[in-house]
Amino acid sequence: MNDLTIKTAIDYELPETVRNRHMIAGEWLGSADTFERRSPSHDVVVSVSAQGDAAMTERAIKAARAAFDTGVWSRISGKERAAVLLKVADLIEKNVDRIAVFETLESGKPISQSRGEIGGAADLWRYAASLARTSHGDSHNTLGEDMLGVVLKEPIGVVSIITPWNFPFWILSQKLPFALAAGCTVVVKPSEITPTSTVMMGELLIEAGLPAGVCNIVLGHGQPVGSLMSTHADVDMVTFTGSTAVGKLITQAASGTLKKVALELGGKNPQVICPDADLDSAADAVTFGVYFNAGQCCNSSSRIIVHEDIAEDFVKRVVALSRKVKFGDPLDPDTQVGAIVTAEHNAKIDRCVKAAVADGATLDLGGGTMAVAGLGEQFYQPTVISGVSPKMAIAREEVFGPVLVVLTYRTFDEAIALVNDSDYGLSAGIWSENMHTCMDFARRAQAGTIWTNTWMDGFPELAFGGVKQSGQGREIGRYGFEEFLEVKSLVLRIGRSRAPWVQQDA
C-alpha cells in the first residue's frame, strides 16, 4: 500500500487498491464473493472487500459470544481494559495520514477533514479509557442494621455495531471504545460504501493487544449481515447510526428477542437567528453547518428560522459566504467541500431542490450538480432556498446535501413552534446576545443537543443523541458509556435476622 503524495492541487499519486477482509476471532478471513468501492471524486477502484454472508456473520457472533462468556475481556479489571484503549488511541494518531487517504477516497470528503476526524477520534478512545477505570455502582447502607444493598453495573454482553458511510471512522469511535470500556464484546458492520477505515481499525486493535474475539468485523450489506446482527439471539444489543427508515426496520427486527437498541438517526436541524444576533458570526456558522461534509451529516444545519426584520440581509450574507467556500478535489488540502457519496444520491438531492422550486420556493444560489475540472460531476453546488413554507417537503425532509432552506418568523413563540414542528429532534441552535432568550430556547426546543451562539461544537464528555424520530439512547460521554451497561441489584442480609415465613408446629 502506497501513501498518497500530494504534489499540487491536481497532481498526486493514488494509492494501490486495498483488499479488505473480515476480522473474526483475531483472524483475517476472505470470502468467495467480493464487492468494490470506486472513489466518487476520482472514479478509481479504492477497495475490493470480502462479501459477508449469513455463515460468516454467524461465525463472528459466535466468536463474540465465546469471548464474552469466557470473561477474557468482560471480567478483567477496568485498568487492564483502559490500557488497551490507550494503546489504540496512540496507534490512531500514528496512522492518521494512512487512514485518512482511504477515508477521503471512499467517502469523497476533503482530506483535511478526514485527517481532523481520524486524529480527533483518538480523544474519544482516551476518554472511554478513563470511564473504564472510573465506572462504579452504588451502595445503600440505610436499609437497616442487618441489610446492605449494592447496585452493580455490568457489561450488557455482545453488541452489534452498524455504522454509516458519512463518518465511518468517527462514528465507529463514538461507539466501539465505549462498548469495549464497559467490558462488552462486539461485531461491527461498516457501510459497504466506506469499509476500509474500519478494517484498518481492526489492524490497530490487534496491534494494541485486544484479545481475539472481543471485536469482530464482518463486511457486507444489510442483507444478510446487518439483518442477522439485529435478530440473532446471541446478540444482546444493537447500536446503529443511519437513516430513520432503516432505524425503524432494525427496531422491528430486534423486537423478536427484545434486545436493547440504541439509534442515532436523521435530523432536520434548525437554527433560529434573532434580530440582536451577531449576524456575521451567525452567517459563518450557518454556512459551515450546511456545507460541512457536503451536507451529508445528520447534524447539518439545513433549516434556518430568521426573524422577518433581518431575513433579507441575513440571506445575502449567507449567499455571499457560500460563494467563497471552496468546493473541489477532495485530495486538495485547501478544499472545504468534496464530492457527493454516490451519483444516485446526487440525483436525489437535485430532485429535492427542483421540487421545492416547483412548490414556489425561491432559489437564491446554486440548485444543480457541478463539475470539478478533471473529476466529473459528482458534486453539488452550494444551494440556498428562501421563501419556504413550513409544509413544503424541503422544510421537513432530510435532503442530506449542501442545501439550506430559509423560513421566517415574527414572534419568538412562532420561532419555537417552527423549531418543534418536525418529526426530528437531533439538534437545534439559537443566535442571540440575550442569554435569557437563549436559555428560554434551550428549555423549550425539542432536541437532544442545543447550541447557543455556535454550531456543531462537541466534546467526548458530552452525550450526543436525539429525540422523536432522531433516535433513542445516547452516544459518548458518561451517558453514552452507560448504554452498554446493565444494572444489577445485590441484596445482602448481615447475620441470621430473617424471620421464618413457615410457621413451625409448637
At 442-485, the pLDDT tens digits run 999 999 999 999 999 999 999 999 999 999 999 999 999 999 99
Predicted confidence (pLDDT) at residue 5 exceeds the cutoff of 50: no
At 170-229, the pLDDT tens digits run 999 999 999 999 999 999 999 999 999 999 999 999 999 999 999 999 999 999 999 999
433 part of the active site = no
pLDDT for the residue 2? 29
At 252-264, the pLDDT tens digits run 999 999 999 999 9
pLDDT for the residue 12? 56
Which of the four pLDDT bands, split at 50, 70 and 90, describes residue 328?
very high
Coil, strand or helix at 385? strand
* Residue 183 DSSP code: T
Q: How far apart are CA 10 and CA 260, in angstroms?
A: 48
Predicted confidence (pLDDT) at residue 502 exceeds the cutoff of 90: yes
Coil, strand or helix at 477? helix
**Catalytic one of 184, 298, 352, 438:** 298
Beta-sheet strands, E only, within 85-146:
138-140
Kind and range of the H or E run holding 494: none
**Catalytic one of 117, 192, 264, 398:** 264
At 413-430, the pLDDT tens digits run 999 999 999 999 999 999
| Other residues' Cβ atoms within 10 Å of the Cβ of residue 227 | 16
298 part of the active site = yes
At 52-90, the pLDDT tens digits run 999 999 999 999 999 999 999 999 999 999 999 999 999
Q: How far apart are CA 303 and CA 352, in angstroms?
A: 14
At 157-183, the pLDDT tens digits run 999 999 999 999 999 999 999 999 999
pLDDT for the residue 314? 98
- Share of residues in the chain with pLDDT > 90 (%): 95
At 395-412, the pLDDT tens digits run 999 999 999 999 999 999
